[in-house]
Structure 1
Amino acid sequence: MKALKIKDVVEKVSLGQSTVYKMVAAGTFPKPFQIAPNRVAWVESEIDDWLSELASRRTGGQEAGRGE
Structure 2
Amino acid sequence: MQRYLRFPEVSKRTARSRTSIWRDVRANRFPAPRKIGPNAVAWLEEEIEAWCASRPIVSYHSEETVPLKCNQK
Q: TM-score range by the shorter chain?
A: 0.7 to 0.9
How many residue pairs get aligned? The number is 62
Length-normalised TM-score, structure 1: 0.81
Structure 1 counterpart of 2:37: 36
Deviations along 1:10-40, whole A, 9 cap, x unmatched? Answer: 0000000111011000100000000000100
Counterpart Cα distance in 2 of 1:21 and 1:9: 12
Length-normalised TM-score, structure 2: 0.76
Deviating 4+ runs (over 3 angstroms): 65-68
Q: Percent identity?
A: 29
Q: What are the ranges of 5 or more consecutive residues in structure 2 without an aligned counterpart?
A: 65-73
Structure 2 counterpart of 1:50: 51
SS at 1:27's partner residue? coil
Structure 2 counterpart of 1:3: 4
Higher strand share: 2
Counterpart Cα distance in 2 of 1:3 and 1:66: 37
Higher helix share: 1
What residue identity is the alignment partner of 1:17? R
Counterpart Cα distance in 2 of 1:66 and 1:6: 33
Q: What are the ranges of 5 or more consecutive residues in structure 1 without an aligned counterpart?
A: none
